[in-house]
Amino acid sequence: METMKYIFVTGGVISGLGKGITASSIGRLLKSRGLEVTAIKIDPYLNIDAGTMNPFEHGEVYVLDDGGEVDLDLGNYERFLDISLGSDHNITTGKVYRTVIEKERSGEYLGKTVQIIPHITNEIKRRIMTVAEASGADVCIVELGGTVGDIESMPFLEAVRQMNTEMGRGQNCIFVHTTLVPMLGTVGEQKTKPTQHSVKELRSIGIQPDVIVARACEPLEYSIKRKISLFCDVPLEAVVSAPDAKSIYEVPIVLEEQGLTDYILKRLSIDAQKKDLSAWREYLDRILYPSNTVRVAIVGKYTHLADSYLSHLEAFHHAGAELGTKIECRFFDSEKVEKDGISQELACCNAILIPGGFGSRGIEGKIMTARLARERGIPYLGVCLGFQIATIEIARDVLGMKGAHTTELDPNTPYPVVDLLPEQREVKDMGGSMRLGSQRVLVKQGSKAAALYGTTEIGERHRHRYEVNPDFIEKLESAGWEFTGRSEDGVKMEIGELEGHPYFVACQFHPEFKSRPKKPSPLHLGLIKAALEYKQAREDRHVL
C-alpha cells in the first residue's frame, strides 16, 4: 500500500477504560484481514520513559527487545499483534521536549521563537510518521494516553489533528474515540451524556470522531446507539458497544461482530479480503472453557495492583490456554509473609512465582517462600529478583552461609552471593542504565530449560543491575543449584535449576515479556505443567 493509514485512538470520560485493549483489538482484526499493522503508544507525561516509574502507580514497566522501558500497553500490542516493537513506538512528552530543546540549544531553529505549535507538534508528527513508515506496515494504530481534555494531551491531539488535515482529511486517518456509558442502578438506563460531553470536548479542538467505542457493563441498547449516533454525529454503524468481557481476548470478536473492521476498511478505502478469526476464536475457547484449574501464588511487593504483574498474568493465560487449564493467581504481600509467617493459603497453592522487584521491603518473606517451595517440593519459578532470592535461600540454608545476601540490600553481607555487574559499578543515572533488553542465553543440553525451550540458544529480555557472584558459582552448584543457562561470555548466570526437585527453576531474565498467545513462555508453561502434576499427586494422596 502506498500511503500509510493511521487510526488514532483517544479516550474520554475517565481513564482506565481499556483503550489499549480496544486499540490492540482493532489491530488484531486488521491483521486478520491480511494487513500488516504496527502500533504507537503516546504517553503525555514528562518522563522520558517508564523506566523510573513506580509500578505501584503505573503498573509494570514493560521491556522491549531493544531495551526500551515502556508503558505496559506496548505489551498488549506485542501480544495481540504478535510483533516486536522498538522503544521509539512509545512517544512521551519527555522525549519530544528533549529533542526540541536540544535542537534549540544547537541553534537549529535559526533564531526563531520556539513554540508548542509548530515546533512541538512538528516533532510529534515527525516521530509518529518516521516510526510508522520504518515499520513497513500498512496501518499504524496510534493510541493517545490520558483523557481528552487533559492539559498534557493537548499538543498531541493538535498534532494528530494536523496530520489528518495534511493527509487529506478523513482519507488516510480516522479517529476512534472510546468512552464510558454508565448505567444508573443495576437495571437502570444507560446514560449517554458523558459520551456527548467528551465528544464535544474533542470537537472543540477540531477533531470529529469517526467511530465511538462505548464501554459499558452490558451491550448498548439499540436506542442508546441511535442517540449517540445522533448527538455525536457518527453513523449508527460506527457506534460500537464494548461490554465487559470475560477475557480481553474476547474483545476482537465482540468488535468484529458489530462490523467494526468492515467499517474501518471502508472508511480508509482499504481493499482487504481475507477474513480469518477462527484461530483466535479457538484460542478464546481454550481460555473460556478450561478442563482443569491450578492455583498459583504470586509473592511480591506490588500485590494490590494486578497491573504490576500484567505480563506474568498474560503469560499464565497463554500457558493455561495451551494446557486447557484455568490459572487462578493469588497475590501474597511478601511483607505480610515476613511478619506473619507462611499462611495456610500460601502453602496450599499448586505453584509459586516470585517475580522481579527492587528494594528491601518484604525480602525475607520472599526468601521464606522460596524455602517453602524448595523443602516441600512445590513448583517454583523465580524471575529476576526471584532468581536472586532462590540463590540466596540455597546459600543460606543448604550451604550454611549465614547472612548470605545480595549487596543491593545488604552491602556488608559476609556472603555476597548476588552482586553488582562490573559494568554497573560506576553508573549513577537511574534511567535506562540497567542491563536491558534482549540478550542471548546459552542453555545446557539435557536441562529442563533446554527441553522446555526446545533449543539451547535463546534470546530473552533483561532488566537488572545485580547478578550471581562468580566467586560462589562452584559452591552453589555443589549444593545442587545448577546454572543451566549462561550469558554468551559464560560470566553471567541466567538460569538455575535445583537438582532433585520436580520444578525449582529461576531465571535472571524476564520470560514473561516474550510470551504470546499460542507461544507461551516456556518457563511459565513448565511451571504450570509441574503444578498440574503436583496437584494430581496430592489429590491421589487425598491431601488438599
460 is known as an active-site residue: no
Q: Does 390 bind ligand GLN (CB under 6 A)?
A: no
Q: Does 242 bind ligand GLN (CB under 6 A)?
A: no
Report helix, strand or coil for 482.
Answer: strand
Q: Does 463 bind ligand GLN (CB under 6 A)?
A: yes
Give the interface segment with ligand GLN, choosing from 27-35, 145-153, 308-316, 353-361 (CB under 6 A).
353-361
Give the angle 69-71-77 at the CA atoms, nearest 5°. 105
Nearer to ligand GLN, 283 or 466 (CB): 466
DSSP string, 434-464: SEEEEEEEEE-TTSHHHHHHTSSEEEEEEEE
How far apart are alpha carbons 50 and 71 in whole angstroms? 6
Q: Which of 128, 240, 384, 404 binds ligand GLN (CB under 6 A)?
A: 384
Give the interface segment with ligand GLN, choosing from 105-113, 264-272, 340-348, 356-364 (CB under 6 A).
356-364
CB of 79 to ligand GLN, least distance (A): 20
384 is known as an active-site residue: yes
How far apart are alpha carbons 241 and 337 in whole angstroms? 43
Provide the 8-state DSSP code for 511. Answer: G
Nearer to ligand GLN, 210 or 419 (CB): 419
Closest CA to 364 of 404, 400, 323, 399: 404
Q: Does 408 bind ligand GLN (CB under 6 A)?
A: yes
CA Rg value for the chain: 25
Nearer to ligand GLN, 283 or 309 (CB): 309
List CB contacts of 19: < 8 A, sequence separation 6 or more: 9, 10, 11, 143, 178
CB of 359 to ligand GLN, least distance (A): 8
Q: Does 466 bind ligand GLN (CB under 6 A)?
A: yes
Give the interface segment with ligand GLN, choosing from 21-29, 90-98, 351-359, 487-495 (CB under 6 A).
351-359
Helix H or strand E segment including 265: helix 260-267
Q: Count residues near ligand GLN (CB under 6 A).
A: 10
349 is known as an active-site residue: no
Neighbour order of strands in the sheet with 466-468: 405-406, 416-420, 466-468
Closest CA to 266 of 219, 211, 207, 202: 211
CB of 62 to ligand GLN, least distance (A): 12
Helix H or strand E segment including 163: helix 154-166
Give the interface segment with ligand GLN, choosing from 50-58, 134-142, 464-472, 492-500 (CB under 6 A).
464-472
258 to 34, 242, 251, 312: CA distances (angstroms): 19, 10, 11, 31
Give the interface segment with ligand GLN, choosing from 86-94, 149-157, 158-166, 460-468 (CB under 6 A).
460-468
Cell numbers given for 80:
495481540
CB of 358 to ligand GLN, least distance (A): 4
Q: Which of 9, 352, 385, 443 binds ligand GLN (CB under 6 A)?
A: 385
384, 405, 462, 464: the catalytic one is 384
Q: Indicate the burial class of 169 (C-beta count within 10 angstroms; 0-12, 13-18, 19 or more).
A: exposed
What is the binding site for ligand GLN (CB under 6 A)?
356-358, 384-385, 408, 463-466
Query: Which positions are annotated as active-site residues?
Result: 384, 510, 512
